[in-house]
Amino acid sequence: MPELRGKSDHVLAAIGDADGAVFVTWNAKHYKKIIRPRLKGSERLRRLGLVSFECNHALGRKRIEDVIGLIEFEYEQLQERRDSRMRIEIKKELIRILR
């Protein structure tokens, strides 16, 4: 694994995509832009997953504890499909799985 400290978010996303990693962030707006499908002719991140929180840290922690089994299940299902990514939004009022 290369040294990641100090790397740009776009470089981290490319490395994560190659490994089929999942980013977990409270900076959802920023990372949604990074993993969004790119314009024609540019490289698209196909496997990088995202669990994004759009609520405060205390509520986010409680909500993820409640649904960690679901998140693990979704991740396992996607490991079988090479060209798929997991996106889960955890908000104040809902949890959304985007396939």
What confidence score (pLDDT) does residue 2 get? 64
Both tokens of 1, joined, read 């694994």
Residue 17 is predicted with a pLDDT of 87
Length of the chain: 99
Q: Maximum distance among all alpha carbons in the chain?
A: 41
Query: What is the structure's pLDDT at 53?
Result: 94
Instruction: Kindly list the domain boundaries of the chain, sorted by start residue.
Output: 9-98
Do residues 98 and 61 touch, judged by C-beta distance below 8 A? no
Predicted local distance difference test score (pLDDT) of residue 82: 64
Q: What is the pLDDT along the chain (99 residues), one digit of tens a residue?
A: 568 888 888 888 889 888 888 889 998 788 877 877 554 544 677 788 889 999 999 999 999 999 999 989 988 887 777 667 788 999 988 999 887
Predicted pLDDT of residue 79: 74
